[in-house]
Amino acid sequence: MSSKKTYAVFGLGRYGRAVAEELTENGAEVLAVDFDEAIVNSAAEKLPYVKCADVTDIEALRQLGVADIDVVIIAMATSLEAGVMAVMLCKELGVKNVIVKCSSETHRQIMEKMGADKTVFPEYDSGIRLAKNLLSRGFVDLIDISDNVSLMELDVKPEWEGKSILDLNIRKKHSVNIVAIAQGDKINVNFDPAAPLDKSMKLIAIADKATIIKLK
């Protein structure tokens, strides 16, 4: 066993595979696992240690040597039940650091209760990073974060002036997440959702591309 920190990635969708490949390219020892044999065969082109296995089966995890892994990244946000089982089994096997990709706040809360050491929201987090970087040199109107999710700058509509994001309930009414507010040359990611909006502000939003274009 290498003295370097070891990693396992469960779920080789776009996010999981990207994480596994990035770790591997930087010299880390990575075990990549997925239940779909076709996905495993495809990933094997770039990843040296890829296995087809059911990560909700503790015997399968034992055979994979998961008990000796330092960090497990669970990237199965679309399968809540499988993710919950994977977290519980990893902790039962003694994995010290379990990181879970989540798709919602409820998902995060569940995973933390199950024992996850850290949760991540890749689309939200990458959106904030893009906003910070791009606004510093002039915001690009529309940026694709993934195939169906985009980051966009929205004007404060006349009917929104004087109202807060909480008042407008944009997330529930339009399925749009406001991740930052820009005003002048400044961008605030820790904004007060109860503060009134001004026409001089720009709202940085993440949502389904079709939805956000309609809102704009």
Instruction: Convert the pLDDT of each residue in 32-91 to its tens digit.
Output: 999 999 999 999 999 999 999 999 999 999 999 999 999 999 998 677 888 999 999 999
Question: CA angle at residue 207 from 205 to 208, to 5 degrees?
Answer: 150
* Pick from 91, 42, 41: nearest CA to 66: 91
Q: CATH 3.40.50.720 residue ranges in the chain? A: 6-120
Q: CATH 3.30.70.1450 residue ranges in the chain? A: 124-215
Fold held by 6-120: Rossmann fold (3.40.50)
CATH node for 124-215 = 3.30.70.1450
Instruction: Convert the pLDDT of each residue in 77-129 to its tens digit.
Output: 677 888 999 999 999 999 999 999 988 888 888 899 999 999 888 766 665 55
Is 70 exceeded by the pLDDT of residue 141?
no
Mean of the pLDDT values across residues 134-143? 48
29 strand-pairing partners: 6
Is 50 exceeded by the pLDDT of residue 140?
no
pTM above 0.75, yes or no: no
